[in-house]
Amino acid sequence: MVNYSKPKIKVTPPGPLARKIIERDVENLSPSLTRSAPLVGVETEGVWIKDIDGNIFLDFGSGIAVANVGHRHPEVIEAVKNQIDKCDHVNSCDYYTVPQVEYAEELFKMMPGSFKKRIFFTNSGTEAVECAIKVAKWHSRRYYFIGFIGGFHGRTMGSLSFTTTGISPRKYYSPLMPGVIHVPYPYCYRCIFKQTYPECNLYCLEYLEETVFQKIVNPEETAGILVEPIQGAGGYIVPPNEFLPRLAKICKKNGILLIDDEVQTGFGRTGKMWACENWNVAPEIMCISKAMASGLPCGACVTKKTTMNWLPSSHENTLGGNPIVIAAALAVLRIIRKEKLLENARQMGKYLLKRLQEIQESHEIIGDVRGKGLMVGIELVKDRKKKTPAIEQRNNLIEEAFRKGVLLLGAGKSSLRLAPPLVIEKQQIEVGLEIFEESLKIIEK
């Protein structure tokens, strides 16, 4: 597929071929899968996706922050082909592989904290969180955990115990993992405590220390605090600058492990390799996935070396760290450095945020624009004073933009999350925003 300068819609999507695939999908696949738009993608390249009917879409979501180095990057493809020619699988719970060792050594050079580290390879973000839960329990011999309201950490039973973006992911699955206490995240646009930042002095953290740790759970029995440095599925919510450093201090004071979920924020998404680096925090445990291998199933739990001190058979898997997948992951690290994608994410993210704030001035339906790097959230409201969520309008906007050739993803109750590939250029951002504003005007009517 050649590189396009703008979307190209040959037939109103979903076209006839797409509808046939969707019908077969509905017949055979799990109905639990939610779909943002009726896209049947068959070819990808860079920031573009081609559907089965020949329509070309500009991808403003990167498959939920997965295609950070762009779709089908030539170096990723080459790395995968070379590895397939040599070795397809050696299970790491019984044997050793070269790519895993090489990757660990390269990754650690790009991670925060001067301390030595260890890694456990997984197949997904939720598995990385499950590993973090287990290693925190093993290391600390403690029982309780703290999670944040609005957080998303996965859908397996341990990670689901922390996921609170809505009721539907948790419905009918009780009892979940016991011992998880939820506290408010600093969602300052919609403060649960009806406080105003900065006058609140981050009351959400005061609540954690003065109420939760004094009346609900003893901090000496708390193994870890699991947090997204920027909430993803909850609405791309950027906390105040002092939040993460203060949280890290609370953890250190009480001997609690800070577990940083970088599944969506990692690998340059915010303009730093890891979002926690925006606030100079080096967590004892980090969970990574999504962009790690540019779309191949890959994740990891990385800890301070002294934290991952468990014994053989404490935790294993068969497919984690597959040689082919890790070859792709190594290529991703090389590309991020060589193509200076962190710098591009900062520059293009700053430009995208500025342009959206300009658009906001002309559209009352945009209540809030927030973000870091190429992780930008737009919250739609029916009126700015009451901040009533514009849920239907948000959904209609996603549908309208899709028909015009731009892929947008929802988040939170009435927000959009813009997370284009980190290779995106200014002209491509302008093309996407032009269609975004056209669609916005239509749904406003």
Q: Report which residue type is found at 30.
A: S
Query: 180: helix, coil or strand?
Result: strand
Q: pLDDT per residue over 253-300, tens digit each?
A: 999 999 999 999 999 999 999 999 999 999 999 999 999 999 999 999
CA distances from 40 to 11, 52, 410 (A): 13, 6, 18
* Adjacent-strand bridge partners of 372: 375
pLDDT for position 116: 98
Q: pLDDT per residue over 133-183, tens digit each?
A: 999 999 999 999 999 999 999 999 999 999 999 999 999 999 999 999 999
Between strands 366-372 and 180-184, the pairing is unpaired
Query: 224: helix, coil or strand?
Result: strand
Closest CA to 442 of 404, 402, 400, 403: 400
Q: pLDDT per residue over 59-115, tens digit each?
A: 999 999 999 999 999 999 999 999 999 999 999 889 999 999 999 999 999 999 999
Omega of the bond leading into 175 within 30 degrees of 0 (cis): yes
Structure-token pair, residue 264: 């969506």
DSSP 305-354: TTT--PPTTSS--SSTT-HHHHHHHHHHHHHHHHTTHHHHHHHHHHHHHH
Which residues of the chain are in CATH 3.40.640.10 domains? 74-338
Average pLDDT for 299-326: 97
Helices (H) and strands (E) in the chain, counts: 12, 15
Q: pLDDT per residue over 44-55, tens digit each?
A: 999 999 999 999
Q: pLDDT per residue over 17-38, tens digit each?
A: 999 999 999 999 999 999 999 9
Q: Is domain 16-59+341-444 classified as CATH 3.90.1150.10?
A: yes
Give the other-Cβ count within 10 Å of 314's Cβ: 11
Fold of 74-338: Aspartate Aminotransferase; domain 2 (3.40.640)
Structure-token pair, residue 65: 């922050």
Query: Which residues, 6+ apart, have CB-to-CB distance to 298 below 8 Å?
Result: 121, 122, 123, 124, 289, 292, 321, 325, 326, 328, 329
Instruction: Give CA torsion, residues 398, 234, 333, 130, to 10 deg.
Output: -130
pLDDT for position 2: 60
pLDDT for position 1: 62
Q: Is the dihedral of CA 74, 46, 343, 264 positive or negative?
A: negative
In this model, does residue 433 exceed pLDDT 90?
yes
Please state, rounded to an integer, the average pLDDT across all residues of the chain: 97
Structure-token pair, residue 291: 């962009």
CA separation for the pair 329, 353 (Å, rounded): 29
CA separation for the pair 29, 25 (Å, rounded): 5
Query: 440: helix, coil or strand?
Result: helix
Closest CA to 39 of 69, 4, 14: 14
What is the strand order of the sheet 375-380 is part of? Answer: 366-372, 375-380, 415-418, 409-411
Kind and range of the H or E element at 379? Answer: strand 375-380
Structure-token pair, residue 322: 């597959």
CA distances from 266 to 45, 74, 153, 294, 359 (A): 21, 21, 14, 12, 28
Which residues of the chain are in CATH 3.90.1150.10 domains? 16-59+341-444
Structure-token pair, residue 336: 């991020």
CA separation for the pair 43, 204 (Å, rounded): 45
In this model, does residue 131 exceed pLDDT 80?
yes
CA separation for the pair 252, 254 (Å, rounded): 5
Please give the model's pTM, rounded to 2 decimal places.
0.97
pLDDT for position 3: 67
